[in-house]
Copies of this chain bind each other. A is one copy, B any other.
């Protein structure tokens, strides 16, 4: 507190500046999510550095960041490998996601402003349009954006910080399963619960949504497992 460093109005001069390590991290994360680097891929520092036209340092730091986000695992002296999400990993992901989204939803119900609610509604609309147009990619993006926005409504920065990497892995997982599911009605009902201002109702809907989502992913994984018994 009493941190009066920033002038009122906060005119950040170059707020757009991002250290190279962060840009490298974002780039690598995107490549992992987009399956350019599928699970099992080794991330070799010198290779990536050369490919990206940077030195090893930013790449190293980016890899460490991705490690803490759970996208890669590094074995001492062997380097980083893109992780494969096991069935247990997926269950744990949904466990934690559920607990935190319930909290987020509960807080969102009591804290969201009208302007924020309008914004979320517009994202919901985008999803509906994508669904009607049969644009699976846009639908998937709208779904991701929806979850991100709900999180913001909670006005809980720590919650956002903790859940964000998990959402990243979740989105990654959903893309791996090739599932841009039709969750529009679900999302809509959930959102209305938040907009109603009832924390309990919002929490209940969040839990229901998380569990439905979990079931969908479980089924998709079981199906995939069935098709390709041994990898």
Measured CB to CB, the residues of A under 8 A from B are: 1-3, 17-19, 57, 60-61, 64-65, 68, 70, 76, 84, 86-87, 89, 92-93, 95-96, 99-100, 102-103, 107, 156-159, 161-162, 166, 230-231
Let me know if A95 and B158 touch, CB within 8 A. Answer: yes
Let me know if B19 and A76 touch, CB within 8 A. Answer: yes
Residues of B within 8 A of A57 (CB): 57
Apart from A61-B64, A95-B158, A96-B156, 7 more pairs, CB < 8 Å? A1-B87, A61-B61, A64-B64, A92-B159, A95-B156, A99-B100, A162-B166
Let me know if B93 and A158 touch, CB within 8 A. Answer: yes
Listed from nearest, the 10 A-B pairs whose CB atoms lie closest are A92-B158, A99-B103, A99-B99, A68-B68, A92-B156, A96-B158, A1-B86, A96-B159, A19-B76, A17-B76
24 A-B pairs with CB atoms under 8 Å apart are: A1-B86, A1-B87, A1-B231, A3-B84, A17-B76, A19-B76, A61-B61, A64-B65, A68-B68, A70-B158, A70-B161, A89-B158, A92-B157, A92-B159, A93-B158, A95-B156, A95-B159, A96-B100, A96-B158, A96-B162, A99-B102, A99-B103, A162-B162, A162-B166
Residues of B within 8 A of A166 (CB): 158, 162
Minimum CB–CB distance from A4 to chain B (whole Å) comes to 12
